[in-house]
Chains A and B, each alone.
Chain A
Amino acid sequence: MTDERKEGEERRLSRRELIETTAAALLATPLLRTVPGMGRPAGAAPRFFTVAEYRLVDELTEMVIPADQVSGGARAAGVATYLDARLAESLERDWQAAWRAGLAAVDELARSVAGKPFMEVTPPQRLAVLTRMAAHESSPQTPAERFFQELKRQTVRVYYTSQIGIHDDQQYKGNVYQSGEYSGYDAK
């Protein structure tokens, strides 16, 4: 079957095929969302976190995945806003309690390291606190270390499913109708 195939003709995505498949996709998704669903308007109050907690989460997530020359970081990707919305609607009390307690543990650690809550200490001191939290990542011992695992896992999941994560940082090339030569190597 593949032997007789006329390469160029067969592989090029014809205009007719493109229209047919695109039309089918549109028909199938009458409620296609164009707006990222679970945000909140800029400046609106957080729904799960207190204002102080929200500022802390926003800072911590940005420290986990910061902006660099290639792409925006967790703050630009709206990670804290997304987490706030998921926690607000969640029915899992344990998960919500873990976040409340974890953020308190971060401030507790900051007080023991630098004498003040996390957001009131200097950037180098913040880095020192987060470094302490990340010290035993694979086998966390303290409440702050255990919270780091959760903070990081959620930040990674949310950031790399965001527009910035997928398109700017990863330069993801897929989720397109390929035409012409498909990518990769022929097994010969």
Chain B
Amino acid sequence: MRPPPIQDVDLSRTYDAVIVGSGAAGGMAAHVLTSKGMQVLLLEAGKKLPVEQELRSMEWPYQHPRRGDLPPGSHALSFNEYTIRRPPYARDTAFQHVYSYVEGWGGADYTKNIVVDEKDHPYTGTPYAWVRARCLGGKTNIWGRLALRLSDFDFKAKSHDGYGEDWPLSYADLEPYYDKVDLYLGISGVKENLPHLPDSLFQRPTKLTYGEMRLRERLGAMGRVVTPYRAGVTTDGLKHNKYRSKCFGRGACRRRPGGCDIHAAFDSPTGLIYPAMDTGHLTLRTNAIAREVLVDTNTGKARGVAFLDSQTGSSYEAKAKVVILAASTLESARLMLLSRSRQHPDGIGNSSGHVGHNFCEHLMGPSVTGLVKELVGKPHTLDDGRPGGFYIPRFRNLKERQPGFVRGYGFEGNSGHAMFPPGALDTPGFGAAFKKTVRDHAGAFIDIGAFGEVLARYENYVDLDPEVKDRWGIPVLRFHYQFGENERKMAEDMVATAREMFQAAGIEEVGVSREVLTPGWSIHELGTARMGSDPKTSVLNQFQQSHDVSNLLVVDGSSHVSASCQNPTWTIMALAWRSCDHLADELRKGNL
């Protein structure tokens, strides 16, 4: 189904709302507000891509001139570059284009127009692997699809262990909105009745492999859970959405930086934005780089957004009754800091001084690879025809208190045959014996990697670099960010419990990685404009509305009070839906 035609933006009118950013948060805001009849302008900094032509999900590697690799002159940053050097990473490079590490995975040529060129988008400060996608839909075009709910173990974490702040809302407040997101966008999974990982309204679950079934059975005896990947993918189809197909288990999901050209996996354009455009209430302006939130000099309220055209560099102003930031955790913070005025000298919405602070995310790196020996030499089966493998939910610091660290972590895992034989690059030797070993073992590997909560700390923050500017002359972010003792202790525990679980399941350990990856690796940055009840220590109220500026909302991950260890996308969308519902009520009541 072709996308609806783009309407011309009318900059002489005052829209009901202008939204900055078209990813999960901005797409959801556009959906909710247009469904209530509001006239909405959506600004996206990047292009609208013919994304199916970019992704070509079913093209075989040998049908591509470079087997999916980037063309000469393009370079993806490596772990070593992120570790040894400091940003800006593309400074003094001989390469024509430099991309973040995700473009170092196989098949990067299919996603090179989705992610940004680091040369145009520098940043400074401490090492950080900042992955950005500037195009319609943002990172939802290539996201990992794991769609999890948070629980009161997260929302009320301070009450539980004394660290940080509670969220100004509870699971009961958000549950109806998680349900709405499930039903509107589709999610696959199995009910497990876990208080710390609430179930969704699931469509057909994906299946487990033999090795995963064994792990599930054995871990069950330890009180731990192996559940099929809770994928933000419609497996049964969505009758209300003509732009998306159901999942047919084609299995392209595991072999590229991401993307689904039949849109069974959620992405913001087909899931939210195109249906919103079909209401007739949404105007989309792409190549529109927001430069500043404009302020009414009499009232101090937001009156619109100043933006640059990314192609021509020309400046424009869009006027609206409400400004909604959804540019991503770091870009929304940057935009608030850029929006200085007489009333808001430290940036709009920043009277607390907390904008850019309490920056948190998920720790990655510790992982274990094992071998399910019974599978060695067995006939090859179709194991990767699914949007993801499996998930082991958090089990630390729930009932008992863990020594050494607070909060928890979960594991993502995968196993079985894939298009590129697992283990092939790590099998020693050469010749006929090597070839047979690769063939016999390819389906027998299983691996799990942890995602842990990084604590929100005031001293982890971003601010504006006083000198460095991006290609459009806009000051860039400077990072002041590092992991602490809690993260180090947690990482050690991740390795220990991963090994213990494989041992319990009789899976032979063949590889252990203890190294913590560069901050940013999880692409789950959060917290730079947190919600809270106290305007002195938080930026937004529970409806993601600025304490300082009542007609300014920030509906992306920057609003999260803590990172939890569960992947954030589904929570971002549930929160945005709830806040936009509330916003529409407030507008109707004349409270803004």
Contacts and interface: CB of A to CB of B under 8 A. Distances in A.
A63 B430 CA distance: 7
Interface in A1-42: 1-2, 5, 10-11, 13, 17, 20-21, 24-25, 27-30, 32-34, 36-38
A63 B431 CA distance: 6
Contact of A185 (B59, B62, B94, B207): B207
B245 A24 contact: yes
A142 B329 CA distance: 48
B56 A166 contact: no
Contact of A64 (B63, B228, B381, B430): B430
Contacts of A138: 428
- DSSP class of B's interface residues: helix, strand, loop or mixed? loop
Contact of B205 (A38, A176, A187): A187
Contacts of A111: none
Interface in B59-112: 59-68, 72-73, 94
A169 B435 CA distance: 9
Given A184-B206, A184-B209, A28 B53 contact: yes
Interface stretch (A47-55, A86-94, A99-107): A86-94
A174 interface: yes
Contacts of A5: 204, 236
A17 B417 CA distance: 27
Interface size class of B (residues with CB under 8 A): 35 or more
Contact of B380 (A36, A91, A158, A173): A173
Nearest to B200: A1
Nearest to A82: B67
Nearest to A186: B207
Nearest to B96: A91
Contacts of B429: 134, 137
A90 B71 CA distance: 8
A157 B501 CA distance: 32
Contacts of B163: none
Contacts of B228: 187
Contacts of B205: 2, 186-187
B119 to A, nearest CB: 16
Interface string B481-492: 000000000000
Interface stretch (B382-390, B394-402, B553-561): B382-390
Interface in B503-517: none
B245 A161 contact: no
A1 B251 contact: no
Interface string B418-436: 1111001100111110111
A65 B435 contact: yes
A160 B204 contact: no
B177 interface: no
A89 B72 contact: yes
Given A37-B64, A174-B251, A179-B248, A156 B424 contact: yes
B248 A21 contact: yes
B381 A183 contact: yes
A70 interface: yes
A20 to B, nearest CB: 7
A122 interface: no
A25 B59 CA distance: 10
Interface in B203-234: 203-210, 212-213, 216, 226-228
Nearest to B213: A185
Contact of B250 (A82, A170, A174): A174
B152 interface: no
Contacts, number: 191
Contacts of B262: 21, 24-25
B261 interface: yes
A91 B72 contact: yes
Interface string A147-186: 0000011001110111100100111111111110011111
Interface in B408-464: 417-421, 424-425, 428-432, 434-436, 438-439, 442
Contacts of A33: 59, 63-65
Residue of B50, B56, B209, B430 with highest tally of chain A CB at under 10 A:
B430
Contacts of B425: 153, 156-157
Contacts of A57: none
B250 A161 contact: no
B58 interface: yes
Interface in B21-65: 50, 52-53, 56, 58-65
Interface string A64-101: 11101010010000000010001001111000000000
A110 to B, nearest CB: 16
B202 A172 contact: no
Contact of B67 (A2, A161, A173, A175): A161
Given A166-B62, A182-B385, A177 B72 contact: no
A183 B385 contact: yes
A183 B382 contact: yes
Contacts of B94: 91
A182 B206 contact: yes
B202 A1 contact: yes
B63 A183 contact: no
B380 A21 contact: no
B236 A10 contact: yes
Contact of B207 (A17, A156, A182): A182
Given A68-B435, A170-B439, A182-B249, A137 B428 contact: yes
B201 interface: yes
Interface of A: 1-2, 5, 10-11, 13, 17, 20-21, 24-25, 27-30, 32-34, 36-38, 63-66, 68, 70, 73, 82, 86, 89-92, 130, 134, 137-138, 152-153, 156-158, 160-163, 166, 169-179, 182-187
Interface of B: 1, 50, 52-53, 56, 58-68, 72-73, 94, 190, 201-210, 212-213, 216, 226-228, 236, 245-246, 248-252, 261-262, 379-386, 417-421, 424-425, 428-432, 434-436, 438-439, 442
21 contacts: A24-B1, A24-B261, A28-B53, A28-B261, A33-B63, A36-B63, A65-B434, A134-B430, A152-B430, A156-B424, A166-B62, A170-B419, A171-B379, A174-B385, A177-B249, A182-B385, A185-B208, A186-B207, A186-B208, A187-B205, A187-B207
